[in-house]
Structure 1
Amino acid sequence: MKDLIYFDHAATTAMHTDVLQAYVEVIGEGAGNPSSLHAQGRAAREKVSKARDALAGILNCDASELVFTGSGTESDNSALFGAAYAQKKRGKNGIVTTAIEHHAVLNACRELETQGFSLKILPVDEYGRVSVEDAKAAINEATAVVSIMAGNNETGTLQPIAEIGEWARKHKALMHVDAVQAFGYIDIDLREWPVDLLSLSAHKINGPQGVGLLYIRKGSPFQPLLYGGSQERSRRASTENVAGIVAFAKAAELASIQRDERREHAENVRSTLLKELSEQLGEQSFAVNGHPDDRLPHIVNISFVGISSASMLMNLDLAGVAVSGGSACNSGSLKPSHVLSAMNISAERVSSAVRFSFGLGNTREQAEKTAKITATISARLRNR
């Protein structure tokens, strides 16, 4: 796998060497349950507390507002069900989200609808961006939860969460933001953002898989989904993943310190790929899906019209280039991307879309090589 070009960082990232070292050090120190009262338990609890404090500093919130989870999906689900159930006790039963959310949000919202909640799914424009006016029209005094992602995991398009969050606050609706894909590339300031709940995941920022984070603003109505012990201030019963949590904090620290470098690096690789594709294929041979400006720097979604996504993915894989057809949670299916379909672009563009996403270890030389490989595959498939 030495020569593999890994352009699928939006699906998952390799652990940074410093993060891996932090993880291994905790594992090597032996067993320790943070809920135990003996010395090993106290040591484990201290590690979790330090990690929580570090993440709170990065996000600019109180450490008590952070809940460690097992994944970004669990964070999304906990936010939606926990807030919706608590708000229902206050007479609110409306859920507002968008058509381009991750399935961890969309499917959770649809499940809430089957339980009697009123669901409004907002449309997006051809760039995958939701209208503030549409959101304002959908949010009212009966709205319990509004869930809008920060940056889309398939196209990178950023959403106007500040404006929508302010409107939700006026109507006493809880605002949830899935920032899993945006974390590490945009500045998240939870003292300033009009957000009540926010979901993150470690493995998108060169941390370990199996660790997520949920921010719950102090005073926000919330009903836990898991029952058992009193871990995480009784908001998430389960023994904490100590090594994963310590590694998550280390990954977040590095991502925060290096944010400008990460952005510039990803932007350089992205622009190189597009430039080389233009030269190798011609600008008319492909189309970029998503917003040209309001976007994350490390994702580019490209349609090679006339070539199916599956054919391009398979051929790139055989040539040693790892990319995706969309969300990693859906890439095993043959269903068209719900994100691209919601953008009302042509069916040909939807069915021929490939997501390239960049991160640690990628180079401009890899982008140049990938463009040449893609051009060769494209010529071969089109000539068939």
Structure 2
Amino acid sequence: MTVYLDCNATSPVTPDVAKIVMRYMTEEYGNAGSRTHEFGAVAKQAVEKARGQVASLVLADKSDVYFTSGATESNNLAILGLVPYAEKTGRKHIITTPIEHKAVLEPIEQLAARGFEVTYLPVDETGMVKAEDLQRALRDDTLLVSVMHINNETGSIQPIAALCEVLASHDAFFHVDAAQSFGKYSAVLANSRIDMLSISGHKMYAPKGIGALLLRRRGYARAPLAPLMFGGGQERGLRPGTLPVALIAGLGQACEEASHEQASRQAYCEAIKQQLREALLPLGCVENGQNTASHVLNISIPGVNSEAALVGLKRLVAISNGSACTSQSYTPSHVLTAMGLDEERIEGAIRISWCHMTKDIPLAEVIDSIKKLL
């Protein structure tokens, strides 16, 4: 049986998440917008309970949570939703990094085509940005700073707390794509200087198709986002559409579980990481990225092409050589390219990602298969 090691692409759901999703699909299937009967009331209660469960992970207020279809939509809403405000105020400078997910880079590219100016903070072989570079890049007309927390390809953890310190004396809106960290490394995300936080359910053991944008108040006001869609008025007019109650309840359950299990899950994942390192290091592999999360390892093995490795290992383990969103194309990783890695190292890069439910990795067979490619 193939062991799944691509949790950064999507995670399995936990048993209790699956149960609650099925409950709200087959038993309590009312529309949260229906006010005239008990089915609607029960659905609305489930949504509001989940809203509180999501918020509590980062010490936010439940009113800060706006449900979306996932982090891609949340990112688009956080970035493109600022356009009317930017045009009104004349603040059209954006700061981001070249290693963001395409769900951040491509909306920003759209704004650049409309006359916005974009500064990309540099990264080096570590895969990390520096707070001092953000300090130098800030301008009076800086509207938005958007930096992911944990990189989806390398697992490098960005210095979010240090970036918050830099922004303490500036009024730019700070957006963090927390798709890979929410529910896993949540403590730093409780920093009140983070104005907008993008959340993805299917990266943290909830279903696909659900996520959230968390909008904190700074003083008395939230980031002045305009909706990107219209019709219905749900989510206080910011994100219309019938709420997927079952998926929302599943996300809430996943957050509830994470609130109790983050530390033990992280320790379990770190133990797997050490096993992988010990097995792979003798092959001469090099790690891509530093300060990486416990659930991901990006490596390059000299002399081994990643495509050949994926084919050779597919009966043993399910792994990848980059983001699932771009896996259909064989263009070099924009993340590893931005880090300045050489062509051979990029072409040989393999991403291995796991979770607390990962069991029985056939390490001996994996190593034997890789050796045949050398």
**Shorter-chain TM-score: which interval?**
over 0.9
Q: CA deviation at 1:205?
A: 1.0
Q: Quick check: 1:12 aligned with 2:15?
A: no
- Give 3-state SS (helix, strand or coil) of 1:333's partner: coil
**Between the two proteins, what is the percent identity of the paired residues?**
38
Which residue is 1:93 aligned to? 92
- Give 3-state SS (helix, strand or coil) of 1:311's partner: helix
Matches within 5 A, 1:113-152: 113-152=112-151
Q: CA deviation at 1:108?
A: 1.1
- Give 3-state SS (helix, strand or coil) of 2:76's partner: helix
Which deviates more, 186-195 or 167-176?
186-195
* d(CA) in 1 for partners of 2:358, 2:21: 23
Matches within 5 A, 1:309-348: 309-317=306-314, 319-348=315-344
- Give 3-state SS (helix, strand or coil) of 2:95's partner: strand
* d(CA) in 2 for partners of 1:85, 1:148: 22
Which residue is 2:371 aligned to? 379
Which residue is 1:299 aligned to? 296
Q: Quick check: 1:188 aligned with 2:180?
A: no
Q: Quick check: 1:361 aligned with 2:360?
A: no
* d(CA) in 1 for partners of 2:294, 2:87: 38
- Give 3-state SS (helix, strand or coil) of 1:325's partner: coil
- Give 3-state SS (helix, strand or coil) of 2:43's partner: helix
Which residue is 1:69 aligned to? 68
Does structure 2 conserve the Cα–Cα contact (< 8 Å) formed by 1:185 and 1:296? no
Q: Quick check: 1:202 aligned with 2:201?
A: yes
* d(CA) in 2 for partners of 1:64, 1:375: 50
Q: CA deviation at 1:227?
A: 1.0
* d(CA) in 1 for partners of 2:21, 2:155: 29
Which deviates more, 31-40 or 254-263?
31-40
Gaps of 5+ in 2: none
Does structure 2 conserve the Cα–Cα contact (< 8 Å) formed by 1:10 and 1:204? yes
- Give 3-state SS (helix, strand or coil) of 1:92's partner: coil
- Give 3-state SS (helix, strand or coil) of 2:165's partner: helix
Which residue is 1:266 aligned to? 269
* d(CA) in 2 for partners of 1:378, 1:153: 24
- Give 3-state SS (helix, strand or coil) of 1:89's partner: helix
Which residue is 1:308 aligned to? 305
Q: Deviations over 1:106-147 (max 9, x none)?
A: 111111111111111111021100121111111111111100
Does structure 2 conserve the Cα–Cα contact (< 8 Å) formed by 1:207 and 1:251? yes
Does structure 1 conserve the Cα–Cα contact (< 8 Å) formed by 2:316 and 2:366? no
* d(CA) in 1 for partners of 2:188, 2:206: 21
Q: Deviations over 1:304-328 (max 9, x none)?
A: 12221111111111x3210010111
* d(CA) in 2 for partners of 1:330, 1:189: 29
Q: CA deviation at 1:91?
A: 2.0
Which residue is 2:236 aligned to? 233
Which residue is 2:287 aligned to? 288
Matched residue type, 1:108: P
- Give 3-state SS (helix, strand or coil) of 2:81's partner: helix
- Give 3-state SS (helix, strand or coil) of 1:36's partner: coil
Matched residue type, 2:369: I
Q: CA deviation at 1:157?
A: 0.6
Q: CA deviation at 1:191?
A: 5.2
Q: CA deviation at 1:168?
A: 3.1
- Give 3-state SS (helix, strand or coil) of 1:177's partner: strand
Query: What TM-score, normalized to structure 2?
Result: 0.95
Q: Quick check: 1:352 aligned with 2:348?
A: yes
* d(CA) in 2 for partners of 1:358, 1:191: 25
Which deviates more, 156-165 or 98-107?
156-165
Does structure 2 conserve the Cα–Cα contact (< 8 Å) formed by 1:289 and 1:302? yes
* d(CA) in 2 for partners of 1:169, 1:93: 20
- Give 3-state SS (helix, strand or coil) of 1:170's partner: coil
Matches within 5 A, 1:174-185: 174-185=173-184
* d(CA) in 1 for partners of 2:214, 2:59: 11
Matched residue type, 1:28: T
Q: Deviations over 1:272-316 (max 9, x none)?
A: 01101234x3xxx2111110xx22110000101222111111111
Gaps of 5+ in 1: none
Q: Deviations over 1:346-384 (max 9, x none)?
A: 211111000000113323x41xx23x33332333222xx
* d(CA) in 2 for partners of 1:167, 1:361: 38
Which residue is 2:21 aligned to? 23
Does structure 2 conserve the Cα–Cα contact (< 8 Å) formed by 1:169 and 1:175? no
* d(CA) in 2 for partners of 1:189, 1:327: 24
Q: Quick check: 1:159 aligned with 2:158?
A: yes
* d(CA) in 1 for partners of 2:249, 2:85: 31
Query: What TM-score, normalized to structure 1?
Result: 0.92
Which deviates more, 51-60 or 68-77?
51-60
Matched residue type, 2:311: M
Q: Deviations over 1:221-251 (max 9, x none)?
A: 2111111111111110111110000000101
Which residue is 1:51 aligned to? 50
Which residue is 1:275 aligned to? 278
Q: 1:238 to 1:271 in 2, by over 3 A?
A: same
- Give 3-state SS (helix, strand or coil) of 2:372's partner: helix
* d(CA) in 1 for partners of 2:213, 2:199: 7
